[in-house]
Copies of this chain bind each other. A is one copy, B any other.
Amino acid sequence: MARLVMKFGGTSVANIERIRNVARHVQREVEAGYDVAVVVSAMSGKTNELVGWCTDASKLYDKREYDAVVASGEQVTSGLLAIALQEMGIPARSWQGWQIPIKTSDAHGSARIEGIDGSRLLEGFSRKEVAVVAGFQGIHEATGRLTTLGRGGSDTSAVAVAAAIGAERCDIYTDVDGVYTTDPRIVPKARRLDRVAFEEMLEMASLGAKVLQVRSVELAMVHKVPTFVRSSFDDPANPQPGTLICDEEDIVEQQVVTGIAFSKDEAQITLRDVADKPGVAAAIFVPLADANINVDMIIQVVSDDARSTDLTFTVPGADFDRARAILEKSREQIGFASLQGASDVVKISAIGIGMRSHAGVAARAFKALADKGINIRAITTSEIKFSVLIDAEYTELAVRTLHTLYGLDKA
């Protein structure tokens, strides 16, 4: 029998009425003949409450204890959904991470799934039993302690379970009805995509399209698990298909550009007249890395006399002040004339696997943005995406311009 994983997030299981609605979605798939594993998050708000208690008890809480406390949220919903399914006449049982087990690293609070033994879930299927799996949690086997995967970890649980039991697909039910060409709140003409390639989704997730956790997309790509993003608020009797995230070979009509993402949480730092000598890049970037500051776009412009350069890069907006302080402290060691910074900048990215086989995709964007009077502060490109850094006030204009330029507007 074909197997299916269905995942429901916190807003979808926020109360008993919604849990019953989730049960109806599961019922539909059971009646369609699937062996179903359902992965659930904690009721919305519960995880925040539990985290708040840990922080109240100690700002420097032990992450192992944090995990024991926070994992309880998914335990509750797994049991409640099993009860709701049974009430509808569907055999079901809850599975905690340690019962399956879902084996993880001991990086408490952000553990990594290292392996899942799917055999007990499959035994349950042989008894026609729906498996209700507590998401977000696992066990570090050597110590026997509870672990959690970090925020959004239930997506990762779902994809990993799907890989472990050889599921035909993994359906991620969420509060949006799929993946869009860009944020519909900014571009009303944004379209829901029928299909997105794993690589594209990975870039979109990394760039701030918060539909799926990055790690879950990585896992889906590695294990080739076709993954749907779809709405849990659809009528269970008449659900919409959502967006399929799949291998690029399964996308027949490839667009050059699939989506436009943007990230507002950016700040730009420019160091003027940096001495062009060996080791200078290390002198700049090692202290930032040591302070856990994630440097993104880096552009180096060599001066006319080739003896000094201007160096521009971006950091997360939240780290802007800290990064400047660190650099000022190393000013003599690095050797730069002045430091300029801007926190009112935004990174706009166009993503599409079609870029691999099409030249000049980015160049068209530079021209279109220039035509609208938008100044580009920095550019980076990779195989399937390019990004430009611009002044924040042009965000909406730039996103709409690129959305139209690449033919993404809804008819």
Of A92-100, A153-161, A197-205, the segment with at least 4 beta carbons within 8 Å of chain B is A92-100
Q: Closest residue of chain B to A94, judged by CB?
A: B68
Instruction: State the 9 A-B residue pairs at the shortest beta-carbon distance, nearest first.
Output: A69-B79, A58-B87, A68-B79, A72-B72, A57-B83, A65-B79, A16-B56, A65-B82, A72-B75
Task: Return 16 A-B CB contacts under 8 Å, by A number.
Answer: A16-B53, A50-B76, A54-B79, A57-B87, A60-B87, A61-B83, A61-B87, A65-B79, A65-B94, A66-B83, A68-B94, A69-B79, A72-B75, A72-B76, A96-B146, A98-B98
Task: Collect the chain B residues with CB atoms within 8 Å of residue A66's CB.
Answer: 79, 83
Q: Does A80 contact B (CB under 8 A)?
A: yes
**Alpha-carbon distance between A121 and B79 when the two chains are bound, in angstroms:** 29
Q: Assuming A16-B53, A98-B98, is B76 touching A62 (CB within 8 A)?
A: no
Q: Closest residue of chain B to A132, judged by CB?
A: B65
Q: Are A68 and B96 in contact (CB under 8 A)?
A: yes
**Alpha-carbon distance between A72 and B94 when the two chains are bound, in angstroms:** 13
In whole Å, how far is A61's beta carbon from the nearest beta carbon of chain B? 5
Q: Does A261 contact B (CB under 8 A)?
A: no
Q: Does A128 contact B (CB under 8 A)?
A: no
Q: Assuming A72-B75, A75-B75, A76-B69, is B58 touching A99 (CB within 8 A)?
A: no
Task: Collect the chain B residues with CB atoms within 8 Å of residue A54's CB.
Answer: 79-80, 83
Q: Assuming A19-B57, A53-B16, A54-B83, is B62 touching A68 (CB within 8 A)?
A: no
Q: Are A86 and B68 in contact (CB under 8 A)?
A: no
Chain A 44-72: CB-based contact to B (< 8 A → 1; otherwise 0): 00000010011011101110111111011
Q: Does A239 contact B (CB under 8 A)?
A: no
Task: Collect the chain B residues with CB atoms within 8 Å of residue A80's CB.
Answer: 53-54, 57, 65, 69
Q: Are B83 and A75 in contact (CB under 8 A)?
A: no
Task: Collect the chain B residues with CB atoms within 8 Å of residue A58's CB.
Answer: 83-84, 86-87
**Alpha-carbon distance between A99 and B71 when the two chains are bound, in angstroms:** 15
**Alpha-carbon distance between A146 and B69 when the two chains are bound, in angstroms:** 16
Q: Assuming A57-B16, A72-B75, A75-B72, is B65 touching A83 (CB within 8 A)?
A: yes
Q: Are B62 and A82 in contact (CB under 8 A)?
A: yes
**Alpha-carbon distance between A84 and B66 when the two chains are bound, in angstroms:** 11
Task: Collect the chain B residues with CB atoms within 8 Å of residue A227's CB.
Answer: none
Q: Does A33 contact B (CB under 8 A)?
A: no
**Alpha-carbon distance between A19 and B65 when the two chains are bound, in angstroms:** 14
Q: Are A57 and B84 in contact (CB under 8 A)?
A: yes
**Alpha-carbon distance between A61 and B75 when the two chains are bound, in angstroms:** 16
Q: Does A407 contact B (CB under 8 A)?
A: no
Task: Collect the chain B residues with CB atoms within 8 Å of residue A71's CB.
Answer: 75
Q: Does A184 contact B (CB under 8 A)?
A: no
Q: Does A241 contact B (CB under 8 A)?
A: no
In whole Å, how far is A79's beta carbon from the nearest beta carbon of chain B? 4
Beyond A19-B57, A54-B79, A66-B83, 7 additional contacts (C-beta under 8 Å) are A16-B56, A58-B86, A62-B93, A65-B79, A66-B79, A68-B79, A72-B72
In whole Å, how far is A129's beta carbon from the nearest beta carbon of chain B? 12
